[in-house]
Amino acid sequence: MKKFYKPQINVKLVRFGNNWDGGYLIPACIVDRTEYLISFGVGYDWSFEKDFKAANKNLRVFCYDHTVTRRFWYKYTIIAFFDFIKNFRQKKKILKYFEYKNFFNNRDVFHFKKKVTAQESNNSKEISLKTLSKIDKYIFLKIDIDNDEWRILHQLKYFKKLLGLVIELHNIDLHFKLLRNFLKKNNNLKIAHIHANNMGGISINKDPLVIELTLLNTNLCKNYQIRKNKLYKKHKLDFKNDKFRKDINIRF
């Protein structure tokens, strides 16, 4: 992989979310300081948000996903029901909607059925990053929006109290220049962790096409050390996104 992807700092990491797809490693030093966790992309997995909230009782959780609607849950539950009848498996999926309602009915936890956009709009079903950046609190971002991350990446500059973020990046072989330019312009955001998503496939060079990056704002968080060891080693808290697929090794 290109060298600019290599983690630049050493910092203690903790894992929030599942031990498969949906779990991420983030710096331990920002957990208690974070006032708002803002997540782009929910789907049927909010394990990351749930663990973060459990670790920080004062946290406010704002989730944005315009695709998770009543129709989404009808379809999801019906498929889960017939899958259970046919194969007697995935019983938990039938009750997933009730888990969703239970978590998002908590005080300080919200799901907004809005699409996150780069441009400000009068559309009530959309919200821009510039609007969200007006929240004058310490923020951590989770971004998992299936290729749309490239459309909003440059807008992260508006967040003045951004402690850090975790972001899933798709088709990095096509968009690596966008990320490289973003990191150059926002050099306070340092890569603390990289993970290959084994559900995204590999390039002709056998590099992952989808990665998860954890970035720390070193202007606001000082509990880190500049990485001197040039060797890259997989973190002990890393797990395969899909446990049935072969893992993808990262090579620099």
Question: Does residue 51 fall inside a structural domain?
Answer: yes
**pLDDT, position 7:** 95
Range 56-65 average pLDDT? 98
Q: Using CA atoms, how far apart are residues 59 and 152, in angstroms rounded to an integer?
A: 24
Residue 239 lies in a domain: no
117: domain range? 3-226
Is the residue at 198 inside a domain? Answer: yes
Rounded to an integer, the average pLDDT of 232-242 is 94
Mean pLDDT over 200-213 rounds to: 96
CATH number (domain holding residue 130): 3.40.50.150
Specify the long-range contacts of residues 50-53, CB closer than 8 Å, at least 24 apart: 50/17, 50/103, 51/16, 51/17, 52/16, 52/140, 53/106, 53/108, 53/109
For 157-177, the pLDDT digits (tens) are 999 999 999 999 999 999 999
State mean pLDDT over 10-29.
97
What is the domain count for the chain? 1
Q: How confident is the model at residue 88 (pLDDT cuts 50, 70, 90)?
A: low
For residue 227, give both structure tokens.
Answer: 């990485």
- pTM of the entire structure? 0.94
Q: Is residue 240 part of a domain?
A: no
